Structure 1
Amino acid sequence: MTLASDTTLDDFLGGRLTLEQPSTGYRAGVDPVLLAAAVPATAGQSVLELGCGTGAAMLCLAARVPGLTLTGVEVQDRYADLCRANAARNEIAADIHTADLRAMPTEIRGQSFDHVIMNPPYFDPATGNPSAARDKDTAFRGDTDLRDWVDQAARRLRHKGHLTLIQKAHRLADVLAAMDDRMGSIVVTPIAGRTRYDADRVLVRARKGGRAAFRLTAPVVLHTGSAHTKDREDYRPEIAAILRNGAAFPNIG
C-alpha cells in the first residue's frame, strides 16, 4: 500500500503490527496497547471498539487473540479510513463504521458483543482550551459525554459481557458515575509511571449484569526505578512483554 504524504508507518508490538498514522494530530501510543492487553477476550468472541481511531487497540488485541470478530466505530472519516487500511495491511478482518456513537449504525444496533473496548477522550469537553488540530481535539476532548460512551457500551454488550476502558486517573469519578445498574463487577487498576508516583491513568473493567464487589487492584508501575536516569528504555519486564510481544496484563482480575 502507498502511504499518504502526511502519514507515517509505525511499528507496534515489536513489529508484529504496522500502523499508518497521521504525521501530526492524534497518534496512538502506549495507551491503546495497554488497553488491548487488559481485555479478557478468547478466540471466537466478538469485540466492538468505540472510537477506534487508526485501529491500534483492536489490532493489538487481535494479534494476541486470534479468531475474534472485530467491529469498530470511529467518528472521523480519515481515521476510520486509516483503520480499514491498517486492518488490511496486517491481514486482520475488521468491520469499521464511520459514525457518531450517539447515532449508532443500524447494523451495530442489531448486534450484541462479548466485549466493548474504548479509550474515550481524556478531557471534559466543557473544560480547557481546544487544540488547534481538530482531529487531536476530537480525540482528546471530543463533544460526547462519558455517560454516552458507557451507555452505548452497555446497550451493545450481551449479558455478562465485558467493558474495558482506559482513562486519565483524574476522571475515574466520572467513569464510575457513568456506570449505571446495568454494569457491575467493576475492577479498577491504577497505572503509575514509576514507584512513588501518583497514578496517571486507570484501567477499568466492568461486566454487564455483574454482581461481584468493587475491586481496586494494586497499581501497575510501568518503569523501573524512581526516576529516569539513562537515555534508554526502562520498562518493567512485564510491561515490556505487553508493548513488545503483545502479552496480556498479568493479575488484574
Structure 2
Amino acid sequence: MRASARNCGVCEPDRLLGGRLSLFQPPAGHRAGTDAVLLAAASALAAGDSFVDVGAGVGTAGLAVALRCPGASGLLLEADSAAAELARRNAALNGVGDRVAVVEADLFARALHRPAALRPEAASLVLTNPPFFDAGAVRPSPNPARAAAHVAGPRGHGDWLAAAAALLAPKGRLVMIHRPDALPALLAACEGRLGGVAIRPVLPRDGADAVRILLAGVKGSRAPLRFAAPLVLHGPDGAFTAEAEAIHRGDALVAV
C-alpha cells in the first residue's frame, strides 16, 4: 500500500512487531522505536476496556495495544496535526479505524475546549510516552516535530502525569515510559492520584545504569510502591536478549 508523498511525505510503511504493525512515519523527525514497543507491551487490556494513548505521535503504542486486544477501543491523543493525520492513516492501514479514533488536541487544554470524545475519568487505561526533557534542559532539534516529541513545553513531567491520570476511570491504570531522572517528579505527581505504583528499570545491558523506567499505577489504589526486576535489552554481543527480542517481535509482554 502506498501513500501520497504530497500528503504525508512517506511512500512505504515501516513494519514493527514482526510485521504485525504497519506505520506510515515522516521521513524526518521523531520515529517509533523501542520506547513505544516497551510501552505497548506493558499496557494490558481486557475485552470491552477503553484506552487513551496520550501524546500518541503516529499512533505506534496505541495501535499495537489495539491489535493485541481486539475487544478494546481507544483514542490516540496528539496535538501535532501532521502526526495526527499519520495516526489516522495508520489506524486505517492496520484495520482498527472502526474502534480507534484520533483526537487532535492539547492534553492541557481546558475541558471546555476539548473534543467531546476526550472525557475525564473514562478510560480503563492511559498509556503515554511523553517528551523526556524540560524546556531549557537540552538544545532542541531544529526539526519542529522532533523538538516537540523530545522537549516539553512550560509544563513539567509531573504536570503531564497528572493531566494524563485525570483521563482515568476509578481503578483505571496508567502506564508511562520515561527517563530515570524524572522519577522524583513523577512520584510526587502520583500522590493522591495513583497507588500501587510499580517501577521497572530498563537497562541497555546487564550491570549498566537504567536508561528508561516503566511506571505503572492504579487510580485510587492504596497499595504500596514497589520496584520490579530490571528489563535488560542487550547481551554482551550487543544483540537483543531473548526477552527483548520476543517483545520486539510482539510475542511477549512486559510485566510492570
TM-score surpassing 0.5?
yes
3-state SS of paired residue (1:21): coil
Q: Which one is further off, 202-211 or 98-107?
A: 98-107
The equivalent of 1:247 in structure 2 is 252
- Cα 1:110–1:175 change in 2 (3 A) is closer
Structure 2: state its 5+ residue gaps. none
Q: CA deviation at 1:154?
A: 2.1
Following superposition of structure 1 onto structure 2, how do residues 168-247 of structure 1 map, counting pairs within 5 Å?
A: 168-225=179-236, 228=238, 234-247=239-252
Q: Which residue among 40, 47, 51 is the counterpart of 1:47? A: 51
Of 88, 96, 100, which residue of structure 1 is paired with 2:102? 96
Instruction: Report if aligned partners of 2:66, 2:100 keep a CA contact under 8 Å in 1.
Output: no
Residue of 97, 102, 122 corresponding to 1:112: 122
Partner Cα distance (1:40, 1:216) in 2: 19
Q: RMSD in angstroms over aligned alpha carbons?
A: 1.5
Q: Which amino acid aligns with 1:198?
A: D
Per the alignment, residue 231 of structure 1 pairs with: none
Counterpart in the other structure of 2:14? 10
Whole-Å Cα distance in 2 between the matches of residues 145 and 32 of structure 1? 21
The CA deviation string for residues 165-224 of structure 1, in whole angstroms up to 9 with x for no partner, is 000112122211222302111000000010111000000001100111100111110112
Higher mean displacement: 115-124 or 239-248: 239-248
| Equivalent residues of 1:192, 1:222 under 8 A apart | yes
CA distance in 2, matches of 1:110, 1:182: 14
Displacement, 1:110?
Answer: 5.5
The total of aligned residue pairs comes to 245
Which shows bigger deviation, 120-129 or 27-36? 120-129
1:111 offset after TM fit, Å?
5.9
1:161 aligns with 2:167: no
Cα distance, 1:112 vs structure 2: 0.4
- Which residue, out of 69, 80, 84, partners 2:84? 80
Question: Which consecutive segments of 4 or more residues in structure 1 shift more than 6 A?
Answer: none
In 1: Cα distance, 2:142 partner to 2:25 partner: 18
Separation in structure 1 between the aligned mates of residue 191 and residue 116 of structure 2, nearest angstrom: 24
